[in-house]
């Protein structure tokens, strides 16, 4: 059979009955089924087949065939091994009829639509809750010799399936071994599961996918068993070793989640068919190479043939060229991105910083009457007083007082914007971040300028975490009543300001914040009076000390987010199609930079800190984005003169993800490059077998970046 | 069991036989000479049949009414399910009738008066589905 004259490809429709989720028959050929169209897609979009029953009226149905039955379309050419072009599930029936008009005949149609196993898997297996280990999944739980039982794990419905949540590891270092388990016959795999505690590890992309496709989530095991998800073709690639943060799969459909995760590292998947059944194959768009499909090379390049003007097609047909009958495509710089800019999270630093009083000195008026006996009253004294409001200490400086001055003695701020530098406050220059942050973190190496602005910020919990846990120590407020010579931890109630770096002390009675060294005031009008927080403030005022000569000081240890972020800008490679730096800012704030500085009181504490620098991970991801998108996109439809179903090879010639290298004959290269260097090839994102017209359409289009974004 | 065409259509039949026709798709290529072709299979064979309806009646009008009734019966054959038919010892499997029509005579009359009644010539096609 030559390419000049050949027989049409025969495609048989076969079905297998499914009852209550169980396959109840072998493959039976449907003589009345006329396959019309097969559409193959990549990612989470299912393959679809349309089958028409030409001999049935619209109100009839084939008695042995029910919705939900398995359907496959297989070649019947007698050339060798037959190719399975589609396998899936009978999902819907489309009936219709028309009485016709004077110009059009009456017509009836009776059509079924089938979708592939990705659709079925997605539909049946939503992800919710997590699999992890409880106390009964360990030997010697809680003991030093505690050990995970490999084949035990349990499901917790109240937890959300978020991998590396908040950029922190949450994978159990010991996987869940499934073997000889009656729930999933034939399964032999180790599934990574969720886990907490100090030994938790990061999820890699591969581990996330394996978890999502694990037997535990599979309600259609008899139809679609994945005995070892880690062995799915393509997952062995090193790209899947990448760790990405905060991947939320909760309440998502598994294939949707898998496709989304793959998209973040520039991969996708397709469903392939063999006589043994379907399988999911992972591949990297835009990376097709070679002409032979192997286990290592799952996407290949094809050369199509477009005859030279004036040429007779006989010679090309005799050579068996893949004759291109029609094509419509465009080459565009529009979607090129050769300078992707990765925007990681803003940088966060743990610091210990001095605060300044957030009130005007004139607002603190110590009551020196009655030989200082009215200067302050303890809570027990106030409770005995029938009219405590007669004391200014109560009326002005106690939250229950009638003229309460909420900021006085209570509000301490960093003055990062300089709002407290002016008259009335006189708290000095705006806070200089360079005094607490390492020079290399805060100084532009080119200009030597400090890299922050006078923006108001918020204090955040410390990066330091408590011994043996990942729980932050929070913020730590300390007082000094001796001008900073000694500090004592303030363990009363404190509220963090929302609009600036600062705190509000919420202890009702400020005189009950005692000096832990139980000292007395020495000298001045308050000589020999008890030293506490309130008397210390009064002493500073009465002795007319100007800030920063006050003996009362407050400092805080907390984290703060600065004005620079983790940033990585990819550079155009030699293969870039565009002479312009076509950029896109990609927010990838799951990558973080956080540092506990030496200024923190915890720097020498021995406690661990959540120091991160995920710049390398960010750069890896951005470089992958750039490599996949730096060239021109060729989008179009290439229609072949016939269907290429394998010709006895057992597998179809074209697969989604394959590339189109060249249109020989016209010698038109399809790799996209306007500058020197290797280009990328238009990849096939959709294949349509138009069986009635015996045509095969290859759809190429650029959705690489769209997928990733 | 095959139905005898003469029993159904009358004895004055002329039955031809057209072989199966090949269906082909021809494909040209932009700028190039020549065509490629894909054989799409055959549409089945056709048996063009012509015959005569003869009807009797005491008047021409009555005879013509009878002829119309016979013609309607022949027309109804087109809606019949596929069946096997035989003609002079040859059996044609899985056939349907189509394209029934009455053929006017040379002077334009369909129902031609003859002594004792009228006649009408008809054509019908028997299409073999296999």
- Of A306, A310, A325, which is closest to B27 when you measure between CB atoms? A325
Over residues A126-146, the pLDDT tens digits come to 999 999 999 999 999 989 899
Of B32, B39, B40, the CB nearest to A313: B32
Hey, which bits of A8-106 come out as E strands? 11-16, 18-19, 22-23, 28-29, 33-41, 48-53, 70-75, 84-98
Peptide bond into A548 cis (omega under 30): yes
Residue A680 — very low, low, confident or very high, per pLDDT cuts 50/70/90?
low
> What pLDDT shows up at residue B23?
86
pLDDT at A705: 42
Looking only at the bridges linking them, the beta strands covering B3-4 and B83-87 are parallel
The whole model's pTM is what? Answer: 0.73
Residue ranges of alpha helices (H) inside A405-495 are 439-442
Chain B interface disruption, residue of A639, A694, A696, most B CBs within 10 A: A694
Q: Contacts of residue A7 in chain B, CB cutoff 8 Å?
A: 38-39
Q: Residue A305, class by beta-carbon neighbours within 10 Å (0-12 exposed, 13-18 middle, 19+ buried)?
A: buried
Q: Give the Cα separation of A312 and A309 in Å (integer).
A: 9
Instruction: Please give the average per-residue pLDDT across A270-296, as a whole number.
Output: 90
Cα dihedral A651, A652, A653, A656, rounded to 10, equals -110
Q: Give yes or no for A109 touching B (CB within 8 A).
A: no
Residues 6+ away with beta carbon under 8 Å from B86: B2, B3, B4, B5, B92
CA gap A62, A60 in Å, rounded = 7
The DSSP secondary structure of A311-368, one letter per residue, reads -BTHHHHHHT--BEEEEEEEEESTT--SEEEEEEEEEEEEEEEEEEE-S-GGG-----
Local confidence band at A674 (pLDDT 50, 70, 90 cut-offs): very low
Contact B32 A8 (CB under 8 A): no
- Residue A580 to chain B, least CA–CA distance (Å): 36
**What would the pLDDT profile of A366-395 be if each residue is shown by its tens digit?**
999 998 899 999 999 999 999 999 999 999
Contact B29 A312 (CB under 8 A): no
Q: How many residues belong to chain B?
A: 130
**Mean pLDDT value of segment A25-37:** 91
Of A706 and A156, the structure prediction assigns the larger pLDDT to: A156
Confidence class for position A311, pLDDT limits 50, 70, 90: confident
Total number of residues shown for chain A: 709
- C-alpha angle B108-B111-B117 in degrees, rounded to nearest 5: 145
Q: Do A642 and B40 touch (CB under 8 A)?
A: no
CB distance from A640 to chain B under 8 Å? no
* Chain A residue numbers touching B130 (CB-CB < 8 A): none
Q: Does B106 touch chain A (CB under 8 A)?
A: no
Looking at residue A504, what is its pLDDT?
96
- Compute the nearest-CA separation of A291 from chain B (Å): 25
A308 touches chain B (CB under 8 A): yes
Nearest to B31 among A309, A641, A694 (CB): A309
> In tens digits, what is the pLDDT along chain B, a chain of 130 residues?
899 999 999 999 999 988 888 888 898 888 888 888 888 888 889 999 999 999 999 999 999 999 999 999 999 999 999 999 999 999 999 999 999 999 998 888 999 999 989 999 999 999 998 8
Class of residue B24 by CB neighbours under 10 A (exposed 0-12, middle 13-18, buried 19+): middle
Nearest to A655 by CA among A283, A343, A230, A98: A283
Asked whether the predicted pLDDT for residue A673 surpasses 70, the reply is no
CA neighbor of A628 nearest in space, from A510, A707, A537 = A707
Q: How far is CA A137 from the centre of its chain?
A: 29
Query: Within a 10 A sphere around the Cβ of A412, how many other Cβ atoms?
Result: 27
| Bridge partner list, A404 | none
Judge whether residue A631 has pLDDT over 80.
Answer: no
For range A413-425, the mean pLDDT: 89
B41: contact with A, CB 8 A cutoff: yes
What is the C-alpha to C-alpha distance for residues A276 and B90, in angstroms, rounded to an integer? 47
CB contact under 8 A, A694 and B36: no
A694 neighbourhood in chain B, CB within 8 Å? 25, 38, 40
A6–B contact, CB cutoff 8 A: yes
> Does A93 lie at the interface with B, CB-CB under 8 angstroms?
no
Angle value at C-alpha A329, between B27 and A695, nearest 5 degrees? 30
Chain A nearest-CA residue for B22: A7
Contacts of B30 in chain A (CB under 8 A): 306-307
The proportion of chain A whose per-residue pLDDT surpasses 90, expressed as a percent, equals 70
Rounded Cα distance between A262 and A282, Å, is 9
Contact of B69 with B57, CB cutoff 8 Å: no
CA angle A25, A27, A33 (to 5 degrees): 120
Rounded to 10 degrees, the C-alpha dihedral A334/A335/A340/A344 comes to: 120
Distance, in Å, from the CA atom of A470 to the CA atom of A168, rounded to the nearest integer, reads: 9
- Are the beta carbons of A239 and A265 closer than 8 angstroms? yes
Distance from CA of A41 to the nearest CA of B (A): 27
CA contacts within 13 A on the Cβ side of A489: 5
* Alpha-carbon gap: B86 to the closest alpha carbon of chain A (Å): 25
A310 inside 8 A of chain B by CB:
yes
**For the ranges A528-542, A623-637, B18-32, which has the lowest average pLDDT?**
A623-637
Q: Is A8 on the interface with B (CB under 8 A)?
A: yes
Residue A79 has pLDDT above 90, yes or no: no
The dihedral of CA A176, A181, A183, A188: what is its sign? positive
Between chain A and chain B, the number of residue pairs with CB atoms below 8 A apart is 62
B37 reaches A (C-beta below 8 A): yes
């Amino acid at each position: 059979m030559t390419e000049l004259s050949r027989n049409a490809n025969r495609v048989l429709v076969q079905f297998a009955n499914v009852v209550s989720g169980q396959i109840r028959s072998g493959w039976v050929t449907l003589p009345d089924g006329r396959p019309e169209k097969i559409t193959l897609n990549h990612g989470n979009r299912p393959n679809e087949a349309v089958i028409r029953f030409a001999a049935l009226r619209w109100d009839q149905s084939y008695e042995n065939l029910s919705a939900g039955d398995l359907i496959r379309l297989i070649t019947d050419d007698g050339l060798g091994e037959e190719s399975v072009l589609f396998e899936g599930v009978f999902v819907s029936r489309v009936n219709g009829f028309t009485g016709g008009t004077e110009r059009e005949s009456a017509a009836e149609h009776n059509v079924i639509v089938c979708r592939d196993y990705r659709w079925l898997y997605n539909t049946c297996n939503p992800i919710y809750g997590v699999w992890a280990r409880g106390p009964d999944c360990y030997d010697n739980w809680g003991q030093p010799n505690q050990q995970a039982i490999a084949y035990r794990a349990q499901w917790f419905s109240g937890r959300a399936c978020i991998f590396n949540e908040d950029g922190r590891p949450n994978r159990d270092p010991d996987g869940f071994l499934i073997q000889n388990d009656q729930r999933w016959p034939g399964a032999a795999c180790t599934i990574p599961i969720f886990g907490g505690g100090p030994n938790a590890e990061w999820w890699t992309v591969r581990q996330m996918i394996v978890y999502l496709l694990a037997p535990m989530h599979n309600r259609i095991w008899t139809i679609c068993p994945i005995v070892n998800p880690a062995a799915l073709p393509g997952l062995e690639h090193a790209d899947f070793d990448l760790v990405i943060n905060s991947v939320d799969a909760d309440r998502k459909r598994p294939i949707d989640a898998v496709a989304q995760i793959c998209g973040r590292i520039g991969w996708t998947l397709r469903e392939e068919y063999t006589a043994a059944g379907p399988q999911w194959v992972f591949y990297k768009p835009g990376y097709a190479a070679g002409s032979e499909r192997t286990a290592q090379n799952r996407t290949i390049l094809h050369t199509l043939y477009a005859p030279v003007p004036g040429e007779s097609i006989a010679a090309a047909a005799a050579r068996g060229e893949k004759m291109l009958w029609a094509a419509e495509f465009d080459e565009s710089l529009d979607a090129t991105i050769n300078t992707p800019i990765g925007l990681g999270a803003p940088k966060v630093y743990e610091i210990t910083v001095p605060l300044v009083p957030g009130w005007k000195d004139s607002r603190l008026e110590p009551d020196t009457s009655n030989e200082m006996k009215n200067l302050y009253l303890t809570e027990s004294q106030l409770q005995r007083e029938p009219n405590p409001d007669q004391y200014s200490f109560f009326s002005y400086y106690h939250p229950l007082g009638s003229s309460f001055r909420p900021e006085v003695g209570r509000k301490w701020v960093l003055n990062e914007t300089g709002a407290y530098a002016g008259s009335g406050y006189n708290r000095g220059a705006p806070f200089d971040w360079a005094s607490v942050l390492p020079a290399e973190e805060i100084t532009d190496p080119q200009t030597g300028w400090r890299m922050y602005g006078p923006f108001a910020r918020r204090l955040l919990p410390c990066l330091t975490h408590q011994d043996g846990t990942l729980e932050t120590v929070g913020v730590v407020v300390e007082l000094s009543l001796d001008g900073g010579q000694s500090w004592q931890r303030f363990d009363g109630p404190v509220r963090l300001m929302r609009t600036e770096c600062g705190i509000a002390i919420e202890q009702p009675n400020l005189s009950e914040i005692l000096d832990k060294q139980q000292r007395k005031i020495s000298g001045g009008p308050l000589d020999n009076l008890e030293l506490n927080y309130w008397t210390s403030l009064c002493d500073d005022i009465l002795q007319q000390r100007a800030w920063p000569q006050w003996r009362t000081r407050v400092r805080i240890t907390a984290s703060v987010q600065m004005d620079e972020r983790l940033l990585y800008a990819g550079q155009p490679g030699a293969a870039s199609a565009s002479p312009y730096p076509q950029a896109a800012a990609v927010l990838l704030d799951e990558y973080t930079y956080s540092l506990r500085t030496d200024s923190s009181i915890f720097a020498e504490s021995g406690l661990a800190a959540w120091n991160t620098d995920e710049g390398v991970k960010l750069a890896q991801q951005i470089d992958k984005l750039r490599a996949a998108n730096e060239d021109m996109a060729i989008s179009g439809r290439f229609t072949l003169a016939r269907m290429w179903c394998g010709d006895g090879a057992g597998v179809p010639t074209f697969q989604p993800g394959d590339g189109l290298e060249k249109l020989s004959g016209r010698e038109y290269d399809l790799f996209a490059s306007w500058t020197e260097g290797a280009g990328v090839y238009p990849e096939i994102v959709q294949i349509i077998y138009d069986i009635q017209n015996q045509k095969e359409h290859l759809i190429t289009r650029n959705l690489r970046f769209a997928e990733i974004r | 069991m095959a139905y005898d065409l003469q029993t159904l259509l009358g004895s004055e039949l002329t039955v031809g036989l057209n072989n199966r026709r090949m269906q082909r798709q021809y494909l040209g290529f932009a700028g190039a000479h020549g065509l490629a072709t894909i054989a799409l299979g055959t549409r089945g064979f056709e048996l063009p049949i012509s015959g005569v309806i003869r009807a009797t009646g005491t008047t021409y009008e009555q005879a013509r009414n009878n002829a119309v009734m016979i013609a309607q019966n022949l027309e109804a054959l087109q809606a019949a399910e596929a069946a096997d038919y035989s003609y002079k010892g040859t059996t044609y499997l899985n056939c349907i009738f189509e394209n029934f029509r009455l053929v006017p005579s040379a002077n334009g009359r369909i129902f031609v008066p003859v002594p004792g009644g009228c006649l009408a010539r008809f054509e019908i096609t028997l299409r073999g589905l296999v």
